[in-house]
Amino acid sequence: MAQTKSRLGRGLDSLISGGVAAKPATQSGKATKASAAAVATTSPVGITELPIGKIEPNPHQPRREFDPEALRELADSIRAEGLLQPVVVRPVGKDKHQLIAGERRWRACQQIGMRTIPVRVLEVSEASSAVLSLIENLQRADLNPIEESLGYASLMRDFDLTQEAVAERVGKARASIANALRLLQLDRELQSYLAKGILSVGHAKVLLGLESNAQRLLLARQIIERGLSVRQTEELVGGHKKAATAKGGSKANNSGAEDQTIKAIERQIAAKLNTRVLVRHGARKAGSSLSTMAMMIFSASLKNWAFPDERSTDLHYRASQS
């Protein structure tokens, strides 16, 4: 049995103190796939105080939403007890630093009017900073499924990483990364249901078995209205697929029957005219095409057609006398 990786492999503290896998940047600012396994250790500069206004948020922060009420409670706690854990930053220019971890604490300190904030300064690359920020949020279980997926997608897009490289850096199996990225194939409405916890990842995986976004949305709303479990969702989606398959088969059978009727009409007219005949049957539209029953009646009526000699260009119909 293959060994399974721990949920996040190396913890954030071990990454900071012991090093983090990082790619050297290319001239374009992106890392190359060939150097995915390269290791560049972090270099802690130490803990100090920095002006809050000199710190900027991390553009690769995977967290998209900050609960205002939770942020207010954190601010009240910091006001009463002080900031017990410094934020982590990296230098990004003269007198400027960028957050790696601790954006909630940084925001809460701003709310209560603090002018300086305790920080731990690390000398790390932009890629390592993005990885550390993602890992910190994953360890705290602060990310919803869509934020997690967007975090992985950001690492791949911004630093030219493969799924394997992302999996190695965050300590997860490649299949876990691939499954998370599949969630981004969902419609925005469905993504919002996942982000808000209205639907689970299990529900989403089942819905991804449908090809049409419209079908996914329709069934997702039914799942929410009826409060269906993942197992019940599997049954719902399975029944929907079977119904769609049966409908497609019925259409194919009807089409086959019509084709046979048309072929029979062609043979009968060809026999009367003693020449090759092709009957074109277009898409069925109101007033423009015959039903299968009408074609059968027309086929039967061919017995009453009378054709003049070859010199005439008129075709006459002799009605049957009852």
Annotated catalytic sites, by residue? 103
Q: Is 298 helix (H, G, I), strand (E, B) or coil?
A: helix
Query: 281-310: buried (b, 16+ CB within 10 Å) or exposed (e) per residue?
Result: eeeeeeeeebeeeebeeebeeeeeeeeeee
Cα–Cα distance, 257 to 248 (Å, whole number): 15
Reported in sequence order, the residue ranges of the chain that DSSP labels E, i.e. its strands, are 20-21, 39-40, 43-51, 55-56, 87-93, 96-101, 116-123, 305-306, 316-317
Query: 149-184: buried (b, 16+ CB within 10 Å) or exposed (e) per residue?
Result: bbbbbbbbebbbbebebbbbbbbbeeebbeebbebe
